[in-house]
Each structure stands twice: as C-alpha cells, then as structure tokens.
Amino acid sequence: MAKREIKFSLVYRDMWQSSGRYQPRVDQLVRVAPAIVDMGCFDRVETNGGAFEQVNLLYGENPNVSVRKWTAPLRKAGIQTHMLERGLNGIRMYPVPADVRELMFKVKKKQGTDIARSFCGLNDHRNLKLSIEYAKKAGMISQAALSITHSPVHTVEYYLNLVDKLVEYGTEEICLKDMAGVGRPTELGQIVAGIKKAHPEIKVQYHGHTGPGFSPASMLEVARAGADYLDVAVEPLSWGKVHPDVITIQQMMKADGFQVKDINMDAYMEVRRLTQEFIDDFLGYWILPSNSKMTSLLVGCGLPGGMMGSMMADLRGFQGAINAAQRAHGRPEMSLDTLMVKLFEEVEYVWPRLGYPPLVTPFSQYVKNTALMNLFNMLNDKPRWTTIDKDTWGMILGKMGKLPGELAPEIVELAKKNGMEFYTGNPQDMYPDELPKFRQMMKDEGLDCGEDDEELLNMAMFERQYRDYLSGIAKERFNKDLEEMKAKAGAPIVVKRPVVEMPKFDIDALVQKYPKATPVQAPAKGQMLWQIDVDGPSTAPTVGTAFKAGDAVGYVQTRYGMEEMPAAVDGRIVAVTAKQGDEVEKGEIVALLQ
C-alpha cells in the first residue's frame, strides 16, 4: 500500500537570505515565478517576511509592490504563499507594538500572503499568542514555529508541551524551524509523532538547514513520523549553509514509498538558470563563498550556519587587538583558526549559563557576542562576564520572554550587583500602541497611508528605512555600494576604504599604542551613524568623549534596522577610525575606548 503524499515548499526567500545580503528585485521575481509554477512539484512557496521587506527598502524599492506582484502568479496557479515573522519582533529585529503587529497581518493577507509562519526565538508561547490570533483574524493560516535546537532542556517533552499551548491558542499548523540544522533526526521524528498523536488535525512542516549535514536524515525521519510538508531549495543556492535541493529530497521520499509530485526538469533548469543570472547580475556580490560549504563544526557550538561568515569577520576584527594584548603580555600571537576554536569553546561555555536560548536571530548574536567579549577580556587578564551589552541584558532579565533554562548563579548575582530587576510580565506589555502617532505623522507630512494602509505599515515598522526609501537616499546608497562591490570583484584582498577628514589609521598600530583599550566594533555591515538625529549635527565623538558601559557609542544602519554599538566598558574615546555615513563591515573596529 502506497504511503501518503509528501508536499514540498520552495523557500525562495530564505535561499537568498541564508546566502547573502539581498533578495532579487521585483522584476526578477516576476520573471522566475512562471518557471517555479511550471516545475509542478510545489504546493507552497515562501515569498516574503524575514528580511524581505527591509531589503527592498534598502535598495530603494517599495516592498508592497514587490509582495503583491511576486505572490500574484503563484496564487493564480493554486500555490500557497507563506511568510516568516518573528512574533514580538514582527518583521524587524526588535519589539513591535501590538497594533502594528495586527496591521502587519492585515496588510500581508491583502497583498497575497496565505500563511504566516510565526516564531519566537525563545520559544515563549506568550510572544506567539497574538501572532496566532492576528493571523487568523486577518484570514491567514496560522503556522506557529518551534525554534529547534539541541540541549538538555530542549527535550521532546519540552517541545510537545509548547505545541499544546500553541494549539490551545488556535494555530492550525506547526513548523519545526531547525534554523541551525542541529536537530537530531531521531528526536525530530519523535516530536512530529507526538504532535500527530495529540493533534492529528494539525499540519506539520519541517524547515531544516543543511550546514552540519543532518537535514536529509531529519527529513526522512519527520516524513515517516507524519510530517506533511518539507522545505526545499533549488540550485545554485541549495546545500551548503542553505537547504537541501528538491531533486534529492523528492527522490529520497519516492524511494521510501511516499507519493510525491513529479519535477518538470526543463522548468527546474530554467529556475536554476534565472537564479544564477540574478546572482551574476548583482546579488552574488554579497554572497559569501563559505555559504556553499557544509561544516560539522556547527554541530558542537549549535550556531546557525549563516553566522559563520559574520563570526569570522568578528574574529578578524578582534585579532589585531587580541594579538596586541598577547604581545604586551609576552605571549605568542594567535592564528585565526586558533581564535575560532576558542570562540566555539566559549560559546559552548556561555550558552547554558545564559539559560539555553535557541540560537536563532537575535539570540544567537547575543550569545556569540558575549562569548567573544569573554574571550577578549580573559586574554587581557580580565574575568568572564566583564562585558555584557544592553540587548543581552534585556534577554537575561526577561524583557524579551522567558528563557528555556535556568540562569547560572553568577549571572543572577551579577544582575543584582548592578541593581537590575528581572521582568516576569508579558513582554508585549512593555510596548504601547503607536499607530495613531504614525498615522498623524503621515497626515501632517502629506504622506499617503496607501492601499490597505500598507504605506502606514512601512512607516510604523521601519521608519528610518522607509524615509530613506522615500527620499531616494536608499537607492543612491545602494547604487554606490554596488559600484564599489563591482570594482572590488575579483580582488584577492578587500582594501580598507580611506577615512575622509582624518588620516588613515593602522588598526594594529593603534591597538599597540593603546593595548588596554577596548575596541568599539560595527555590529553588522551597513552605514555608520554616530548620531541618529537626522536634523542634528552628524559628527563622530571627539577624542576624550566619555561613555558609561552600555551607553550607545553609535549606530549602524543595516538592511533589517538600526544596530546599536554599546560601550563595553566605562571609558573615554582614544581613537575614531570611521566617519558619519561610512560603509563599514561587520566586526570592523570603528573606535577605541579606554
């Protein structure tokens, strides 16, 4: 007797998101959509959400136009479209007021998105309750996601208890979001079997990245246990740190006796050709070659594969400062590989002591950043936990949700010593409604709220990025960035840009001059903004400017929002190496604090 049907979803958004900085433009998406339809094997396509909307704004295009045009041909063909949203954070990287979250679901449904995949990086069901309610109220299918990781607290029972709460809230589907691909196949199968036993009406979809190599085995296990949908990719962006290719998974399912749709290989090759064309056009300039490689090193530290490139950039940025300290203490310098192993070991040390937050954005960054600062401080003969940034403290104190595990006693004691209070209420209660404010703001400025209030959503969700789009600054900045990337293409070494209005700085010389200084590093690739008051003066802090630990020294405008650069220690600026408006790389040292 033939087994039941396994259906496939093409994660065309996440394929790009896991590979590089940008998504295809709307004209490219409209071109590839018919070929995706003609492949004949997809019941679903992931079209938007995550960083999709922000990316459109960053290269000067309207995401509302993109979502409407991109989803239309897929839905006409009977293919369901789905988006990714981050619960409390909506489709940005920091918390969103409840009324803005509700508007988001209304707008996305009107724009043609059928399914809302909602996840909380902490697996706090309270952060998903409103997502489920708002999605269903807007007429979308609610698919609540489990952020999968592997730890002593993330047991099968833990996940099944979470599913019970999500089903109680009314979710219609469950996604196993295995964002680092570290879920163990056997346990994933047990989770799916448990869901199907307790809630047979619930559809289950599996999303697993291929970084550490478990995902094909995981897909077979969850399929045998009762999963309904599997997320897959297509060449040239399959495998590596991304997702398995549909051809392999389709054949694996077929060989195991499942019913699967046939693949039109002519159409597959057309999707493959167009995807490569988009890479060659401009998207490939921001795709890291390392993303095409799998690595078992991810099994131990549990970090998402997409973080490997940014982590190495962090280490390269710190290497000069660390080795300057090594020389100052009469110790040998460290290679990048040595530092990488030390950082992985420190992540494994830090993670359980911070309560085992699933290592997904933004919590993977918090754990990694804390481990990196621990490593830096210990190599400078300072104790662990000397430097914890403001956002990480927010996670520790419960302001973003309840941590899955218990905090280590030394972390609790450190919080009390610093006069910090733990928050046990609902995180959403900390963020009052804002739509009336933004609606009045747009009225006062003569701006149209748009069809179905979609322009109002842009303003309320990503105010600065939306203003940059409206003014044309975003398009100008992107075109300039693209020309620079094209000019550098093929160069074996990325040359540091000259610093205008100040002499070129030799970072290694600076850290030797100030061996006790703490670097201030760009938290992400983007535009340097020492100040974010667009009507005020735009200058970097002068040498001698004092900051308290946790104060914002500056900001970086990224594709997904504003990233704060907190002072790691109390101190004064002794050197500044980047000016307002510079394009900086993630991990680049932009100032020294002592």
pLDDT tens, residue by residue, 237-251: 999 999 999 999 999
Q: Up-side HSE of residue 364: CA atoms within 13 Å toward CB?
A: 24
When pLDDT is averaged across residues 12-28 and rounded to a whole number, the result is: 93
pLDDT bracket for residue 398 (50, 70, 90): very high
> Which pLDDT belongs to residue 501?
34
What tokens does 183 get? 């879920």
* Residue carrying structure tokens 């210990």: 378
Task: Compute the distance between CA of residue 71 and CA of residue 76 in angstroms, rounded to an integer.
Answer: 9
Does this chain's domain 7-292 share its CATH topology with 507-593?
Answer: no
pLDDT of residue 531: 62
Contacts of 1 (CB under 8 A, 6+ apart): none
User: Degrees (nearest 5) of the Cα angle 248, 178, 43?
Assistant: 50
569 vs 236, more confident = 236
* Gap between the Cα atoms of 81 and 116, Å rounded: 9
What span, in angstroms and rounded, lies between the C-alpha atoms of 122 and 126? Answer: 10
The architecture in CATH of the region 7-292 reads Alpha-Beta Barrel (3.20)
pTM of structure = 0.82
Give residue 537's pLDDT: 40
From edge to edge, which strands make up the β-sheet containing 546-547? 518-521, 589-593, 571-576, 546-547
- pLDDT given at position 485: 86
The C-alpha atoms of residue 62 and residue 56 are separated, in whole angstroms, by 6
The more confidently predicted of residues 19 and 529 is 19
Residue ranges in 302-388 assigned as alpha helix (H): 307-328, 336-353, 363-379
The structural domains of the chain, with segments of one domain joined by +, span: 7-292, 306-429, 507-593
* DSSP symbol at 552: E
Angle at the Cα of 56 from the Cα atoms of 53 and 61, rounded to 5 degrees: 130
pLDDT in the model for residue 327: 84
Q: CA 33, CA 396: separation in Å to the nearest integer?
A: 43
State how far the alpha carbon of 139 is from the alpha carbons of 78, 83, 133, in Å.
Answer: 17, 14, 10
Quote the pLDDT of residue 36: 98
Residue 350: burial class (beta carbons within 10 Å; 0-12, 13-18, 19+): buried
Can you read off the two tokens belonging to residue 527? 């535009």
pLDDT at 568 over 90: no
Mean pLDDT, residues 371-378: 88
Report pLDDT for 505.
Answer: 52
- pLDDT of 434 higher than 60: yes
Top-tier CATH class for 507-593: mainly beta
> Does the pLDDT at position 101 exceed 90?
yes
List Cα–Cα distances, 148 to 145, 186, 344, 360, 551, in angstroms: 9, 13, 19, 9, 33
User: In sequence order, what are the residues at sequence separation of 6 or more whose Cβ sits closer than 8 angstroms to the Cβ of residue 21?
Assistant: 55, 286, 525, 559
Q: In whole angstroms, what is the distance from residue 535 CA to residue 541 CA? A: 17
**How does the average pLDDT of the chain come out, rounded?**
89
Instruction: List the single range of 66-75, 187-196, 280-289, 545-554 with lowest mean pLDDT.
Output: 545-554
With contact defined as beta carbons under 8 Å apart, do 114 and 126 qualify?
no
Q: For the residues 257-275, what does the mean pLDDT come to? A: 97
Dump the DSSP string for 55-121: HHHHTT--HHHHHHHHHHHHHHTT-EEEEEE-GGGTTSSS---HHHHHHHHHHHHHTT--EEEE--T
Residues of the chain with pLDDT > 90, as a percent, come to 63
d(CA 277, CA 459): 33
DSSP conformation class of 502: S
pLDDT digits (tens, 9 = 90+) for 452-469: 999 999 999 999 999 999
The residue to which tokens 């990714």 are assigned: 84
